[in-house]
Each structure stands twice: as C-alpha cells, then as structure tokens.
Amino acid sequence: MFRKIILISCVFIAIGYIGKIVTAQEEPGIKVSPYIIDEKVHAKDILEYDIILKNNYNHKVDLYAVVNDILPEEGNKDFDYKADKSVSLSKWINIKRGVIELSPGEEEKIPLKIKVNLSAKPGKYHAVVIFSQGTNRTQAELEAKKKNQPKILINIEVEDEIVEKAQIDYFSSAKNVFFKTPVSFFVKLENLGNKEITPKCSISIYNRKGREIDILDFNSENKAISPGETQSFSVDWNPKKVSGRFKAKLNIFYGQKEDKILQDIIYFYYLPWQRVVIFVGIIFLIVIALTIFLFKRTYHHTSHTHHYIHNKILDLRQKNKK
C-alpha cells in the first residue's frame, strides 16, 4: 500500500512538472531559436543560419533586428558604422534590418549570415542580435536597451591561421669572373607570410662535370625574418686548387608545419690570377716563337728566291756576250 502511495505521488509530481514546462512554453512573448551561436572560424569563412521567431502574444507585433557588439571591457556597445571591420563582429553579421511582422501565434524563419572579414584578427568576438518591438527602427533601437529582450548571443573565435611563405628577391655573385679569392655571394630573402621564419640556408658548388665540390652553410646565427620584412645574407667561398666555370645552387629551407624549400642557380668563373699570368705568358711565348719561326722561314725563302733570280740574270748576260 505504501509503495502504491509513493508511485502515485511520483506520477502526480511528474505531471505537474510537465505541466509547468508546457505552461512556460506557452507564456506570452517572442521566442527565439537558437538562443546562442558559438563557433570557431578562420578569416574569409561564411556561416549561415535560420533563426526561428515565434509570436506567443495574442496580438500582432512589429520587430526590428538590432545588432550590437559586446566588448569585454565595455559591455553592450551600439552599432558603430565607423568601426574597424577587422575587429567588429557586428559588421560581419547580415540579417534582415527591415520590419518583421508576426501575427499572433505566427512563426517565421529569418536567414542570418556571418561573413568573417578577410582581415579578421585572431581572437574572440561577441555580439548580440536583439529583436526589439517598435513602430519604427528608431523606437525599436531605444527599446533594445531595456533588459529581458528576445535576442541571440553570438560568440565567434577567429583562430590564428598560419601562412608560411617566402621568396628569393636576390641571389648573385659579386662578379661573373673572379681572379682572386674570396668568391662572394649575396642573398636577399623576403617573408610574404604572417609568421616569423628562421631559414636554413646553404649554397652548393658544382664543377663543370656536375660534381659537388663544396657546400657553404650560412645563417648560422639563426636570424629570423618577421612577416613583411626582408633579410640580406652574404657568404664567401675560398676555393683551393680549382679553377674554371662553376655552378652555385642556393637551397633555403623554412617552415614550422612542414619543410618548404626555395632554390636558385647562378654560374660564375674562378680563374686564379697566377694561373692566368702563366697562361698568358705561355701564349705570349708561343706567339713570339711562332712569329720568329715564320719570319725566319719567310726571310730564308725570300733570300733563296732572290739569289736564284740573280743567278739567272747573270747566266743570261754571259750567254748574250758569247
């Protein structure tokens, strides 16, 4: 018997609780769904929602959507047309600003779109959309400042989007032809991303046969390049016992998420002046020797020809005398 009394009591309590919920749902007022929008986004993202408005009054209402930013240090702030779009959530919200007419018991679907600004700065942003009653927008905006107005709270967190991008602005040797060391190289690198980078840089030297003969590592100090800035580097090569035409290949590695590489190639000559002097001297001696040889040969041939002609002339004169 006691169990039956407890069971019946529980049933009546449950019925009473459900009755309160139904009664609460049927209380007069404007019902808004959803009540809260909470999202994590990136710059350029577009979010779309359908806002459900229901008129639980027994009379017709005219509503206006009033959009304001909520600042942590200031609270609710009236819409500012001059606010910076990169930090104002209210500027990203698109919703019907004209009158919304709802008859008693009527329910209407209102599109709401959030277009995150292209230059949105990382951080948390808050705004409120208040559906305020009024005969016109001016009156509705005044009513919106009162408490307990039907509204939507919007919380948006713009996540930091890492963009790592760099480019080689300049890679060259000090000269095209070097007669003495050092062989100097110059590099200029620009950071086009939004995150600081610390590049690892090297130059590989190849001979005419395509064989790698040396590697020059630079930026050993781990110089960082801030977004939008450029950094210049220089490195010297002191070759030994080599000469001729060479290829220099620049390799730059950077990136935190993944290794990215930039490359460039230039060609140059290294001709040690000592060898050039010896080579020029040898050529000079060869030219002199060749000149002397040709001169002697030409002179000998000319003298022989002249002697032959002279002898012929004498011989003819002797015959004529006879």
The answer to whether residue 263 scores a pLDDT higher than 50 is yes
Of 23 and 71, the one with more pLDDT = 71
User: What is the rounded average pLDDT for all residues in the chain?
Assistant: 84
Cα–Cα distance, 321 to 309 (Å, whole number): 19
- Biggest alpha carbon–alpha carbon distance for the chain: 184
User: Does residue 18 lie within any of the structural domains?
Assistant: no
User: Residue 89: which of 100, 79, 99, 74 has the closest Cα?
Assistant: 79
What value does the mean pLDDT take over residues 125-140? 93
Peptide bond before residue 239 is cis, with ω within 30 degrees of 0: no
Domain end (from 136, 158, 180): 158
99 and 180 housed in the same domain: no
Q: Kindly report which listed range (4-18, 37-51, 55-69) carries the lowest average pLDDT score.
A: 4-18
User: Does residue 59 lie within any of the structural domains?
Assistant: yes
In this prediction, residue 71 carries a pLDDT of: 85
In this prediction, residue 291 carries a pLDDT of: 81
261 and 279 housed in the same domain: no
What value does the mean pLDDT take over residues 294-300? 73
Cα–Cα distance, 226 to 164 (Å, whole number): 11
DSSP-based three-state secondary structure for 312: helix
User: Does residue 2 lie within any of the structural domains?
Assistant: no
Cα–Cα distance, 229 to 196 (Å, whole number): 9
The answer to whether residue 313 scores a pLDDT higher than 90 is no
Q: Note the pLDDT tens digit of each residue in 167-226.
A: 999 999 999 999 999 999 999 999 998 889 999 999 999 999 999 999 999 999 999 999
Q: Kindly report which listed range (59-68, 85-94, 312-321) carries the lowest average pLDDT score.
A: 312-321
Q: What domain count does the chain have?
A: 3
62 and 128 housed in the same domain: yes
In this prediction, residue 146 carries a pLDDT of: 86
In this prediction, residue 148 carries a pLDDT of: 85
Q: Note the pLDDT tens digit of each residue in 80-91.
A: 666 788 889 999
In this prediction, residue 285 carries a pLDDT of: 74
What value does the mean pLDDT take over residues 232-252? 94
Element (H, E) at 40: strand 36-41
215 and 99 housed in the same domain: no
266 and 278 housed in the same domain: no
Q: Which residues, listed in sequence order, are joined to residue 36 by a DSSP beta bridge?
A: 153
In this prediction, residue 17 carries a pLDDT of: 47
Q: How would residue 305 be classed by pLDDT, with cut points 50, 70 and 90?
A: low
Give DSSP secondary structure letters for 86-137: TT-GGGGEEE--S-EEE-TT-EEEEEEEEE--TTPPSEEEEEEEEEEE-SSH
156-165, 197-206, 287-296, 297-306 — most confident range: 197-206
Q: Note the pLDDT tens digit of each residue in 97-111.
A: 899 999 999 999 999
Domain end (from 117, 139, 158): 158
User: Does residue 3 lie within any of the structural domains?
Assistant: no
Token pair, residue 246, equals 């060479």
Of 136 and 290, the one with more pLDDT = 136
The answer to whether residue 302 scores a pLDDT higher than 60 is yes
Q: Which residues, listed in sequence order, are joined to residue 37 by a DSSP beta bridge?
A: 154
Q: How would residue 304 be classed by pLDDT, with cut points 50, 70 and 90?
A: low
In this prediction, residue 307 carries a pLDDT of: 58
Contact yes or no for 189/227 (Cβ under 8 A): no
The answer to whether residue 264 scores a pLDDT higher than 70 is yes
Cα–Cα distance, 72 to 62 (Å, whole number): 31
Could you give the percent of the chain with pLDDT greater than 90?
Answer: 59
50 and 35 housed in the same domain: yes
Q: Which domain holds residue 281?
A: 274-309
